């Protein structure tokens, strides 16, 4: 194999793994963000004085915007 071709293949492979790592960490942060809402619910309800209904609306809004975002940007990520 030509050394120039080998260098290009190595560089492409490095970028490919960098993109995979970025997608992995974006997915992990996204799932952590969704789980944090459940963990913070009692604290937020106490501090803000909200109810279970308000918390449910927050979760529904978050889920709706998440679904809309996947519809808009899902093909780009794939």
C-alpha 19/C-alpha 11 separation (Å) is: 12
Q: How large a percentage of the chain has pLDDT more than 90?
A: 1
**pLDDT over 60 at 5, yes or no:** no
**pLDDT over 80 at 10, yes or no:** no
Our count of domains for the chain comes to 1
User: pTM here?
Assistant: 0.54
Strand ranges inside the chain, DSSP E: none
Burial label, 59 (beta-carbon count in 10 A; 0-12, 13-18, 19+): middle
The average pLDDT across 24-53 equals 83
How many angstroms separate the Cα of 54 from the Cα of each of 20, 44, 49, 58? 37, 10, 10, 6
Please give the angle made by the CA atoms of 18, 22 and 26, to the nearest 5 degrees.
Answer: 170
Provide the pLDDT confidence category of residue 71 given band limits of 50, 70 and 90: confident
Residue span of the structural domain in which 34 resides = 3-77
First-to-final CA distance of the chain: 32
């Amino acid at each position: 194999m030509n050394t120039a071709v080998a260098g290009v293949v190595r560089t492409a492979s490095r970028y490919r793994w960098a993109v995979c790592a970025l997608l992995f960490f974006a997915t992990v942060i996204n799932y952590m963000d969704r789980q944090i809402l459940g963990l913070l619910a009692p604290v937020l309800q106490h501090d803000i004085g909200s109810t279970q209904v308000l918390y449910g609306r927050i979760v529904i809004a978050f889920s709706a915007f998440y679904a809309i975002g996947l519809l808009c940007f899902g093909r780009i990520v794939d």
